[in-house]
């Protein structure tokens, strides 16, 4: 078996909406692979199909060598899944949740006991293992879910937005656990996220997914390198001049235009520090006045912007509201 996951033109349609459009990816065993994209891009649908929860409309996928449709039971035995929302039984203790999971996956009593201690230690929950899950914080619940997903020694672990709705400190913690279990347990991990920093920090390779299509796929470094150097943002006094300025830079060949938005132009150049004077003199030579200039190393945000013409954060607000709503309705 060459790949832990291999999809061929896998597609999911809901009525007339194409949620996942002919995606073909392959993930190597032991890889930490990220699906990055805004809410509604099709990330969750894709991993739902890979984890046999949803059936593909067309195309095929193999997980750990098994076909997700024809051999779904074998796929299930080999994967672990951490869903976006909690799927714990909050009336039971953490240990009971793990124990029930072990039983469902056919682990015998001795194996279960040993494994429960191992996974609890991994996510540092041993001390609270016998408390009712209802009393856990959001971060603890997520850690317990990760621990539970690992109980049965899966070869592939799916994490759907593993840090959604968590505070930054907890998020950093979860990142560490994910890295550790990828190294220590050697488990192949596929995670979805819309946090650029998360994908950048964790993943060995990233597929950027938008409207059901993969728009770019590579290591985070390569994705950023491909933009062609540092990002310079120019704010123009008169936004009407944007096209004119872009034409000048295009002709000159000194910079690549990434995008233009709200009177700002994003360009990438090699050795940005040294190029700024040249860039500015080209602008003033054409009589275009510039209000502000900034220079920074490219982030995945810029990569996303470059490939989709939109900033990923534009799509965030509605989702955060939704999560807030979900949490509120659960409290009832």
| Residues making contact with another protein (CB under 8 A) | 51-53, 73-74, 76-77, 81, 83, 85-92, 96, 100-101, 103-106, 132, 148, 330
Of 48 and 308, nearer to another protein (C-beta) is 48
Cα–Cα distance measured from residue 146 to residue 180, given in angstroms and rounded to the nearest whole number:
12
Cα–Cα distance measured from residue 19 to residue 9, given in angstroms and rounded to the nearest whole number:
13
Of 84 and 170, nearer to another protein (C-beta) is 84
Q: Residue 32's beta-bridge partner residues?
A: 189
Q: Residue 35's beta-bridge partner residues?
A: 192, 207
Smallest gap, in angstroms, from Cβ of residue 124 to another protein? 22
Smallest gap, in angstroms, from Cβ of residue 16 to another protein? 19
Of 88 and 196, nearer to another protein (C-beta) is 88
The region that residue 161 occupies, defined by phi over 0 for left and psi between -120 and 50 for alpha, beta otherwise, is left
Smallest gap, in angstroms, from Cβ of residue 92 to another protein? 6
Comparing C-alpha atoms, which of 92, 95, 100, 101 is closest to residue 127? 95
**Are the beta carbons of 308 and 215 closer than 8 angstroms?**
yes
Give the count of beta carbons closer than 10 Å to the beta carbon of residue 282: 17
Comparing C-alpha atoms, which of 162, 215, 197, 204 is closest to residue 41? 215
Of 73 and 262, nearer to another protein (C-beta) is 73
Of 274 and 331, nearer to another protein (C-beta) is 331
User: DSSP assignment, residue 290?
Assistant: E
Of 101 and 224, nearer to another protein (C-beta) is 101
Smallest gap, in angstroms, from Cβ of residue 331 to another protein? 12
Smallest gap, in angstroms, from Cβ of residue 85 to another protein? 5
CA distances from 139 to 17, 28, 32, 77, 100 (A): 34, 29, 21, 26, 21
Of 21 and 74, nearer to another protein (C-beta) is 74
Smallest gap, in angstroms, from Cβ of residue 72 to another protein? 9
Number of residues that make up the chain: 332
- What ranges in the chain are assigned the alpha helix state H? 43-50, 72-78, 94-104, 109-122, 138-150, 168-184, 196-202, 220-225, 242-252, 272-285, 300-308, 316-331
Cα–Cα distance measured from residue 269 to residue 234, given in angstroms and rounded to the nearest whole number:
13
**Are the beta carbons of 132 and 171 closer than 8 angstroms?**
no
Smallest gap, in angstroms, from Cβ of residue 96 to another protein? 6
Of 17 and 292, nearer to another protein (C-beta) is 17
Smallest gap, in angstroms, from Cβ of residue 324 to another protein? 17
């Amino acid at each position: 078996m060459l790949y832990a996951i291999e999809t061929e033109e896998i597609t999911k349609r809901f009525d007339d909406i194409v949620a996942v459009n002919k995606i073909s990816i392959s993930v190597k065993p032991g890889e930490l692979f990220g699906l990055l994209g805004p809410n509604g891009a099709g990330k969750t649908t894709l991993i739902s199909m890979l984890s046999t929860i949803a059936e593909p409309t067309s195309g095929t996928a193999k997980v750990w060598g098994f076909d997700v449709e024809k051999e779904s039971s074998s796929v299930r035995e080999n994967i672990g899944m951490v869903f976006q929302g909690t799927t714990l039984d909050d009336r039971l203790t953490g240990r009971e949740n793990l124990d029930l999971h072990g039983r469902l996956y056919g682990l015998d009593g001795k194996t279960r006991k040993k494994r429960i201690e191992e996974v609890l230690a991994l996510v540092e929950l041993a001390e609270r293992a016998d408390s009712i899950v209802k009393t856990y914080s959001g971060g603890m619940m997520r850690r317990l879910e990760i621990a539970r997903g690992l109980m049965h020694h899966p070869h592939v672990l799916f994490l759907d937005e593993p840090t959604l709705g968590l505070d930054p400190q907890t998020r950093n913690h979860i990142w560490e656990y994910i890295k550790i279990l990828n190294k220590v347990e050697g488990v192949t991990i596929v995670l979805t996220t819309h946090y650029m920093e998360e994908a950048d920090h964790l993943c060995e390779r990233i597929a950027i997914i938008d409207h059901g299509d993969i728009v770019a796929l590579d290591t985070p470094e390569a994705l950023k390198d491909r933009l062609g150097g540092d990002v310079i943002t120019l704010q123009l006094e008169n936004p009407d001049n944007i096209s004119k300025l872009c034409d000048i830079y295009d002709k000159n060949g000194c910079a690549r235009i990434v995008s233009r938005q709200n009177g700002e132009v994003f360009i990438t150049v090699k050795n940005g520090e040294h190029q700024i004077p040249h860039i500015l003199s080209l602008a003033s030579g054409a009589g275009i006045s510039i209000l502000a200039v900034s220079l920074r190393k490219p982030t995945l945000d810029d990569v996303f912007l470059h490939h989709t013409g939109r900033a990923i954060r534009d799509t965030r607000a509605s989702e955060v509201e939704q999560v807030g709503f979900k949490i509120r309705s659960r409290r009832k």
